[in-house]
Every structure is written in structure tokens, then in C-alpha cells.
Amino acid sequence: MTGAPFLLAFLTLQRLAELAIARANTARLLARGAVEHGRGHYPLIVAFHTLWLAGLWIAGWDRPLWLPALPVFVLLQAARLWVLATLGRRWTTRIIVVPGERLAATGPFRFVRHPNYWIVAGEILTVPLILGLPAYAVVATIVHAGVLWIRIRAEEAALAQAIPARAEVSA
């Protein structure tokens, strides 16, 4: 047995836990008067991530791990936790905006716009490489770039509408 099933199980459980956190945070934010934007593309995001993970299980469950890429994955997980800790109850997988609320300007948001998207993009590339699937990594990264293009445009439009004249870095 290789380490692949453990890596894939970790990813699967992580994503399921994140969905539970996101659902709870979304409900809480909506109850506070938040508005959801970009609902139309959300199924595309869910489909992409579901297919990406399912494809990794199918193509990589029995593959040996390429250990030089593993530290990158570990750093990405630390960065993911930093984003989650920074946003706290504001973190969600949807575009949820509380009108008038200030945008995140601490933690990783001090350094880069949309840090969680950068982290996920790193995972989309790194995990298949760890599993020895370089073609999968390239194709998934290209498709994900298209999905992110749609997502970031929708998020920026929602934030600009809800929080005009913003100087802070967006979440």
C-alpha cells in the first residue's frame, strides 16, 4: 500500500469538513442580512472540485507519493488554516457579502488578494504531482484557471457593489 489513500482521505475529509463549516457560516451570514452573489456559477465550482477529487481517487489511489512535492502541500495547508483563522465565521465557499461590513485586511489578506484562491490553485497543481500525475496537474490547473476567472470577476463585482470606495484587500 502507498501513502496515496491517506493523502486522498485527508483531502476528502478536509473538503467535507470545509463544506460543513461553509454551510454554517453561510446560514449565519444570511441571517445577519448578507446577500449571496454568483449563485449561477457555484455549481460549476462544486462540479470542478468534485471531479478533480474523484479523478485523483481513480487515477492516483495506488500511486507512490513523490515526496519532494509534499512540503509544498504542507505549506499550503498551513496557509489554508491562516485564511480560515483570519476570516473565522466569515469564511464560506460562496460569495456572501454583508453590506457595509469592512473587508478582511489582516492575515494573508495584507499581502495578496484572494489568498484562498491562490492556495487552492496550488493544491490543484501540487496534489496530482505528489501522486505522480503531471498531465492531470496541468489539465486541472488550466481548467481551474478558467473557473477562477469566472469566480473572481463575480466576487469583485459583488464587493464593488456592496462596499464602494474600498481601500482594504478583499476576502
Per-residue pLDDT tens digits for 143-165: 999 999 999 999 999 988 876 54
Strands (E), the chain: 35-37, 95-97
pLDDT value at position 143? 98
Domains of the chain: 4-162 (1.20.120.1630)
**Using N-to-C axis directions, what is the helix angle for 42-60 and 115-130, rounded to 10°?**
20
* Contacts of residue 87, Cβ cutoff 8 Å, sequence gap at least 6: 104, 171
Dig out the grid coordinates for 152 from the structure.
473572481
pLDDT value at position 163? 66
Q: Which amino acid is at 108?
A: P
The pLDDT tens digits for 101-151 are: 888 889 999 999 899 999 999 999 999 999 999 999 999 999 999 999 999
pLDDT of residue 24 exceeding 90, the answer is yes
